[in-house]
Amino acid sequence: MPARTIFLLHFATAPFAIIPPFKLGEIVRFYTLWTISRKLSETIVTVLLDRLFDAIILSLLLAWLVINDHIDSVMDESTRTVQWMILAVTISAGVCFLIGPRALSSLQRYVMIHHSGRNVLVSLRLIDVLRKGTTSGEGLLRQQGPLLMMITVLIWGLELVAAALFTPIAIFPEFHNAGVLLINRTVQEWHAAFSSFIDPALATSAASSILAIFIVWPPSVYGYLTRIITPSSRRQRLK
């Protein structure tokens, strides 16, 4: 998919991501990608790669906070949980897409040489499905990886700039940093609905993010549908 189409797709599905109890934006985006490619494995791999790049950006942001001694202000239980999740996603995706194809091919050869029986065919089929999926992921990572990474950096950069605009109104000194504010908002967005007191910077940053999403949503949907429908109409006319 072209870069502009991917960028528009992100904002077109963004409002669904704030619907609890699940990130429905991923489900909507998954279905949209599947309707375009009609290949389930490639759709799954694309969504996983997108989450991998998000995990990389969050890891870099957390590392920057640690280096600049800002990590104490975000080291609560929920943030530690998010850190472990980010680390798990990054390592798992790296293993799947960089080591998985060769490791699964070696496992296939080992099973074929050293094992026999009716259940071996089932095991080989399962291993082959996983091998094809990781191989597809490795190919997409090489072809679309730089493009997806640039889009991810752009989106998180816009988030960081937006968070920086609201740090001066924070009551607590730990929020007087755009990175800390962004991490806290990312971690505490679901806790905010049940909290008795919310820091004004955190509340304003979250509210402005939601407002910006709904302002950008109509033109994003229009632009995305235009880019998707127009080529399809041209192909039908040519046929």
| Tokens of residue 235, six digits | 């192909």
The alpha carbon of 221 is separated from its chain's Cα centroid by a whole number of angstroms, namely 19
Dist CA 102 CA 121 (whole Å): 20
The confidence score (pLDDT) of residue 238 equals 47
Report pLDDT digits (tens) over 123-171.
778 878 778 777 777 777 777 778 878 888 888 888 888 888 888 887 7
Q: What is the 3-state secondary structure (H, E, C) of 38-63?
A: CCHHHHHHHHHHHHHHHHHHHHHHHH
Where does 68-175 have alpha helices with state H?
A: 77-94, 100-114, 118-164
Asked whether the whole model's pTM tops 0.75, one would answer: no
Model confidence band, residue 236 (pLDDT cutoffs 50, 70, 90): low
Dist CA 51 CA 152 (whole Å): 10
Asked whether 14 and 28 are in contact (CB, 8 A), the reply is no
Asked whether 209 and 230 are in contact (CB, 8 A), the reply is no
Q: Which residues contact 133 (CB under 8 A, 6 or more apart)?
A: 41, 44, 45
239 pLDDT above the threshold of 70: no
Dist CA 226 CA 221 (whole Å): 8
Q: Which residue has the tokens 């904002």?
A: 11
- CA-based angle 70:76:78, to the nearest 5? 120
The confidence score (pLDDT) of residue 78 equals 58
| Tokens of residue 194, six digits | 């049940």
